[in-house]
Amino acid sequence: MKLFLDSSIVIEFLKGNQQVKDNLTGAEAMYTDALCAYEVLTGEKYNELKGFKNSYIHASLFFAQIETVTLNYSDAIKAADIAAKLIVKGKKVDDVDIIIAMHALEKGATILTKDSKHFKILEAEFGIPVKVL
C-alpha cells in the first residue's frame, strides 16, 4: 500500500509509537508534503532552542528517506478546486489538509493520520482513502 503521511503520524513515529511503526512497515511507498515537514521541523527546532528534548536530526533523517512532494501552480489549481467545492457545501477544512489530500490523490496513496476530523470530510466528499490510527 502507498501511504501519504500527515504530520501527526510523523510526530508519533518520532515519539516511538509502535502502532505507527507497524503501519509503516511493508509500505509499498511513503510520501509526505513539504508543508508537513515544515510543521514537524518547526516544532523540533523550537524544542531544540528552548532546551527541551527534541528529535530534529531524527526528523530530518526520516524526511530524507521518504518522498516529500511540493506544491506547484498546477497543484494549487487542483487544491483550490477541492477547497471551493467544500466551501460551497459549508465545510471548512484546513488548507494544508486539502493540499495533502490533493497530493495523496495524485500519488494514489492512502492518507495515514491521527487527525480524523478534516480527513474524514475529504474522504467522504472526494473518495480519498484515509486510515486513522
pLDDT per position as a tens digit, 35-90? 999 999 999 999 989 988 878 888 999 999 999 999 999 999 999 999 999 999 99
Rounded Cα–Cα distance for residues 86 and 100 (Å):
15
CA torsion, points 107, 109, 115, 116, in degrees to nearest 10? 120
| pLDDT for the residue numbered 42 | 95
Q: What is the pLDDT of residue 53?
A: 80
Q: State the pLDDT at residue 41.
A: 95
Q: How confident is the model at residue 117 (pLDDT cuts 50, 70, 90)?
A: confident
Q: What is residue 5's three-state secondary structure?
A: strand
**First-to-last CA distance in the chain?**
16
Report whether CATH 1.10.3720.10 matches the domain 2-132: no
**Calpha distance 120→133 (Å, rounded):** 12
Whether 109 has a pLDDT exceeding 80, the answer reads: yes
How would residue 112 be classed by pLDDT, with cut points 50, 70 and 90? very high
Sheet strands (E) in 11-59: 29-33
Q: What is the mean pLDDT of the chain?
A: 94
Residue with cell 506547484: 72
Beta strands at 130-132 and 110-113: parallel, antiparallel or unpaired: parallel
Which pLDDT band, with edges at 50, 70 and 90, does 116 fall under? confident
> Does the model's pTM come out above 0.85?
yes
